[in-house]
Amino acid sequence: MTRRCLVFSVVTLVCLGGCSSSRNDSGGAGPDGSDTLREVGGLVSAHTGEQKRGPQKIADLARYEAGYPLGFEAVKSGNVVVVWGARMTIEEGGGASGSADVVAYEKKVPSEGGLVLLQNGTVKQMTADEFKSTPKAK
């Protein structure tokens, strides 16, 4: 009986090991840059909603770190740059509204291009030239 249980357990583990969902193209390695920027948007949006103005420094975002740890760490480490003073303009219910001005971006964007967070909550891929010509939020 013990041998049967062992064989059954091994077969079950092998079968379960092959059953997985692969939503992430990065091989399941975790969140990607757009997830990080969405969290930064959550930080800025939370501050904007509570204070009725955009954050001026990282300390303004610290109180929301528990809800957006990935975004907070990215800003703290310098991997994501925030346009300080910028406000998010996301409608009630999460719909995008307002302008498409830049609120935050991956630090490599000005030189290499990459992902940017727009004031209306959209995350968009931009070239360095597109970034240079896109207005920054105020």
Q: What is the 3-state secondary structure (H, E, C) of the chain?
A: CHHHHHHHHHHHHHHHHCCCCCCCCCCCCCCCHHHHHHHHHHHHHHHHHHHCCCCCCHHHHHHHCCCCHHHHHHHHHCCEEECCCCCCCECHHHCECCCCCEEEEECCHHHHCEEEEECCCCEEEECHHHHHHCCECC
The 10s digit of each residue's pLDDT in 8-58 is 333 333 333 344 333 344 445 556 789 999 999 999 999 999 999 999 999
- pLDDT in the model for residue 138: 84
What mean pLDDT, rounded, does the chain reach? 80
- pLDDT in the model for residue 109: 97
- pLDDT in the model for residue 89: 76
**69-83, 95-109, 111-125: least confidently modelled range:** 95-109
Instruction: Provide mean pLDDT across the span 105-126.
Output: 96
Using CA atoms, how far apart are residues 62 and 59, in angstroms rounded to an integer? 5
| Amino acid, single-letter form, for residue 110 | P
